[in-house]
Structure 1
Amino acid sequence: MSASSPPTRAIVLWFPDWPVTALLRSEARAAIGAPAATGDPSPATPDAAIAIMHANRVVACSAAARREGVRRGQRRRDAQGVCPALRIEAADPSRDERAFLPVLSRLEELTPGIQPLRPGLCAVRARGPARFYGGEEHAASALLDVLDDCGLPDARAGIADGLFTAEQAARLLSPGSVGPGRRITIVPRGASAAFLSPLTVATIATAVSAGGDDLVALLVRLGVQTLGEFAALDPAAVHDRLGEQGARLHALAGGSDSRRVVPRVPPPELAREVAFEPPLELADQVAFAVRTTADDVMTGLDEAGLVCTEARITLLDDRGGRSERVWLHPTCFDAPALVDRVRWQLQASLEGEGATGASPAQRLSGGVALVRIEPEAVDDSAHHQPALLGQGPDERLHHAMSRVQAMLGHRGVVTPLLAGGRWLGERERRVPWGDAERPARSRDLPWPGSLPSPLPSEVFREPRPVSVVSPDGGTVVVDERGRVSAPPALLDGRRVTAWAGPWPVIERQWDGGQARRAYRFQLVDADQSAWLLVLEDGRWWAEGRYT
């Protein structure tokens, strides 16, 4: 589009406080798909006071928080000062995008050509919907009605020449201009400059990805307070002083928005599902029946030039039970690998093996009535092509391990994974081959009381009971003040030549059922073997040995 071309007439839909809405919708979905365990916080309600934080400042807040005085841009302590009951959540752009995709898909069912500008804001050319629905206002009303059905009654619509003006029209809603009780603002053709003129220059900060606040501060120092005053400046002088970005914002302030509405290309539907009537009872029956479905998934991926690296498998039984899990793959899935995951998930759900990811709320109690396979993460197939001169050792190893795993089951082949914890046995977790799971106890968290380096070269998976006695033959103990009753003299009958400790390890003192208090010691015996010992509840255990 040339600079002299008129701006595109656009309808912009704006969803106020979208980060908060995305949080509520994601929590509601999680509560339905996998109910929270006892003691977990319940999902927030729409009338809760919530603030989304980034860099210690509020980037979005709920209506209830605004009524208490919370505002965008506030520091965390100021927001908590005006609303002590404020719930603080970290900003998550990926969560916002995930929650926005179903909304875009629903709008595309009504009219094609939706362009997502950012999570919570999208646009569509006004010409097509206006001709179909009999006018721009009727088209916007139809879109808002669909959003009402999706549980988004606060959405607003702005119609104007150009995306920037339409966005400001949606944000600065004046319902009286189009009738009482409506959520649509229409800026007549050719009236963009007059509509934008009284708006503050801070409005243009949202039109650029970076540097907008600095430009606004400069304009304010120069005495330019409104978009009308900014648009009245000489374009050549603005270009010389502010560069290309300043010239573009100067054009936006004058209502000359040259951007087109660029519709997104909806991703292909890659998920497949199969229903069974009557329901199937045996895992092998289900695995055999889903082979065609797995082949269909791979065919759809091949046609799109993609491979699946992460798959979501959902199982439903005839009694309302549900089992859902996301499976990961170190390279990419093929059809047999998907079938294996369906069988393993079904076996784990029916047998209640919590280690494979089947929580009590996700176990099946009846026959399987439906299986759904959905690629959760995909990659370009060009990145996974086999080597030109044959497969490398890593690929051969993966195929061999996968074949053994297919014969022995999901947990038949495991790999060690470093985790976090205060005890040496907690720092290793065995993960089934091919699962890129993150440990529940992250090693990056601080673990007060954990053993510093150097660590024992030999760690006993199950601590070994030992005896530690004093010179008079009594068992060495530690009192409530952490004092040793007597110096250790014998370790399992061997003379102790040196020792150090105790170092207390105290966990979950607020929880009577899981509270733990123990003491670590380091001992060297007459054979010059160094031991890491633990005294807990009056009993001695060997946790590891230094060699």
Structure 2
Amino acid sequence: MAAVEPGRAARRAVLWVPDWPVAAAVAEGLVDPQVPVAVHDNRGVVVASAPARAAGVRRGMRRRSAQQLCPELVLLPADPVRDARAFEPLVQAVETVVADVEVVRPGMVVFLARGPVRHVGSEEILAELLVGTVATETGAECQVGIGDGLLAAMLAARAGVLVPAGTTPAFLAGQDVAALTLAASTRQATAETAELVDLLRRLGLRTLGAFAALATGDVAARFGTHGLGAHRLARGLDVRPPVSRRPEDDVLAATELDPPAERSDVAAFAARSLAEQLAERMLRRGVVCARLQVAARTEDGTELVRTWSIDDAPTAAELTDRVRWQLEGWLSGRSGRPPSAPLTHLELEAQEVSPAGAVQDGLWGRSRRGEAQASRAALRVQGLLGAEGVLVPVLQGGRDPRAAARLVAWGDEAAPLRRTDAPWPGQVPAPWPATVPTEPVPARLVDAVGAEVRVDARGTTSGAPARVVVLPHAPTAAPGPVEPGEYPLLAWAGPWHGTERWWSGQGRRRAYVQVVPDGAPALLLALEQGAWRVEGVYD
């Protein structure tokens, strides 16, 4: 007799908005819905609108390739805060139909289907009611799917179907193993699942059915705890099997906001400290959670509550992200039902808590005291000046030193928008200057007879540079990296030139020259639109 499967997956419903990052940008008035739009991160295109896909733009494509296929393509950087802020009105619309809703990520919500189905009469009626309500109240087009277990419901939503009860294993069997990444809600879980998917494909297990056919013991021995959770998803079950013992108590962290917070950046300062407390308490107890509930109370006693799905052992940064996104949704003023008064109380609760398989400090122990003090000081400054008051430089790909660095707010993901290992034709050779002025300093580069040195389209100079003249700054400008004056040159190298975005009709041509003046540090000069500027100073 075949063994009985321990536990049964709950029947869940998922509401999904296709291309949500694009829809969020349209909702906030950043782009026209009729033009081709793509949202990108440091790896490439994340989401493309329907007009962009019709032109051949695909997810994962490099931005340069996408622009070559569609020159009129509008590129927007990925912004999780924008996505979450614009998603709050849609979640509020869903709550008019369903009481207990969990946000998996901006653009997707999940809830248990049994109660709402019993209330409205059938799954088909529930799906039609949700689609109609969202379209009427927010104007967004969504799809609803229902199935046994979270993964089946997610795939059903993407297909816009209702999977009959008991047929989930057959529905999942033919799906690609890459579908497992849909159920991951944190960066760590997404990275681990992507590695697992890559390994499964190299082993010849390309479908969920092939993965589900493996024996549980073999999966545990080869792929560990994370692999076991993915194996349960592939079989149409819940990630965590039911247990007979009493569940762990929820973990709570709360604080009073004094003075009350009316703006999201002020509330986010308290939320960050609160998230760190919650993460530390979970770490000490050795537990993980499946849900994060964010609750707030206003001056007039109104209660605001939202629940987010979250898996694995969330870090303080990942908890902070969810809370900050939610506060933006409540306090940004774009919600259909903003808070009636400033927030006076904020509370975070980790729900569906279970023992962690392996939760411990980093390999080199806890962060040092100085690092913790610096982090707290940065958070205090952000509380006074706002999130953009403390910025951190992040290196990224680019052709020149100015383009190869971007500034992100302290606590945000310090991820580059452009790959550092990608080829950059016309890139200024290493080493790059140690100092890059906030604003380029105007200068002149002249030859032995005093004529301005020019660079033609072939990269040939009009004459050998002999002197560099650093022009004086405006009285209101900050001090420059080199004193104004005229300096004879001891040596020079270059030029390196290139044209950017030549296919768009709005390209710009630049040429770079390295010079070693007598009496001043070595300089990196740039020629653009007929004018020379100091772009960097070498040590």
When normalised by structure 1's length, the TM-score is: 0.47
Higher RCO (CA < 8 A, seq sep 6+): 2
